[in-house]
Amino acid sequence: KVLAHYNGDGDAIGWQDFLQTLPALGQLAATATDGGKLAYTSAMVLKAQEDKTHAGAFIASLSNPWGDTKSAENSATGYKAVWPRDFYQVAMAMLAMGDRESPRIAFEYLEKIQASEKIAGYSGTPGWFLQKTHVDGEVEWVGVQLDQTGMPLMLGWRLWKEGVFSDAEITQWYHKMLKPAADFLVDGGQVKILWNDTLIKPPYTQQERWEEQKGYSPSTTAAIIAGLVSAADIATQAGDSESAARYLAAADKYSSELEAKTFTTNGSLTGDLGNGQYYLRINANEDPNDRSPLGTSNAQVIEDESQVIDGGFLELVRYGVRSATDKHVLETIPEYDNLNLPDLLRTKYEFTFPGVEGVFPGWRRYGIDGYGEEIKGGKGYVEANNSPDGRGRVWPFFTGERGHYELQLAKTNASLDLDTLRNTYVKGMELFANEGMMLPEQVWDGVGNNDAYNYPLGGGTNGATPLAWTHAEYIKLLRSYSDGKVWDRNASTEARYVK
């Protein structure tokens, strides 16, 4: 009886009923390489991340990472909280499956976590979205991450363009929530809440998408630019042509200065390691060629920012800020993919799976990442207690991010071979799922001591599982391959910057 109610048999309302409300899910399953098993599971996993009391509050994961060694005597939020960045991924994935209700309610929820005088203890410039909150909107973490202000603008624009919001509705949301967000991305301002008392001057961000470093970030800037172009379209619809022009002027300025602030021509990755020319993960100041130090994070001391490569530059292509064949993008890929980099700096790893033909790519967040199992003792991140021997592992959603880039590159070069892409990137993500069809935050990359857990190569570690972002990336990759175009690509941004 319980199972029947869970499934939705007879008069009961259950998961079968929910799946039937997703008109695009069938076509996504047909695009998969596993018959749709992970697609249908992901649909339910993503919906399960929504809080049952506060509608629209999509959390990052129903787990505590490395919870096997973390005491549960005291309550801890873990990943069971709202980050607008992870939230955006989930809302866009729900929309990709044809769900028009969940993304709408999610967007409306965002008003609860936008900085303003309504937030207890906040004073300063309104408009940005809080770093991390409880599902009821209670403040938890308060760093300013500017991509988390750009993404709500992108989401609102997309819901309007897909017809989820009418012209009148998006105009109301513009005045209520989106205009303050866009104004903050142009002007920045003083913010003060808990420990955070600082002046924000976009596109310089207090924290990038990994919540660890301040400076000029390609991935953050991509979201800022796409967010401002989206805001300009909405402002025009709302009759605010003056603001629309201001948003576009700021976006153009950020775009024109992007490489001057984030692309090094004097990087330390030279010789067998690269040619010294690539996008930095993040630049701590306005000079990308000075090899300046970054802040210490996860006990990792980074004395030279140009040693650190990551895939954030691919977001420039995903959102339409740069062409897939932009020379700066193409210059960065060899360093990002270099298998000859020492493990400390290397991001790309290749995986094989028993009984499966092929080699499948995966990437770490960035070089010199300490958020994972330690190398010497093999202990999990929590048990190792921020050890300098920590090592961040491969995150499966980067296989999806790269799969999106490769789709756009193939379209740009008129060389689309969708079967090869599916059997590399879609299948790769499917293989990273565990026996319960849960996609993990990180998988074992084969580097260092594995005695503590004996993870199989490519198997999930005890980081957050399931990670909503990973399941969302998989769904969006299926939608992109089904449509033959990148689902997250912002048409207005592309029209403005990709010639």
For the annotated catalytic residues, the residue numbers are 208, 211
In this prediction, the residues of the chain whose per-residue pLDDT falls under 50 are: none
Asked whether 427 and 363 are in contact (CB, 8 A), the reply is no
The pLDDT score that the predictor gives to residue 75 is 84
The pLDDT score that the predictor gives to residue 70 is 85
The pLDDT score that the predictor gives to residue 167 is 98
The pLDDT score that the predictor gives to residue 43 is 98
Residues of the chain with pLDDT > 90: what percent?
A: 97
The pLDDT score that the predictor gives to residue 72 is 84
Q: Would the pTM count as exceeding 0.85? A: yes
The pLDDT score that the predictor gives to residue 499 is 84
Residues of the chain with pLDDT > 70: what percent?
A: 100
The pLDDT score that the predictor gives to residue 274 is 97
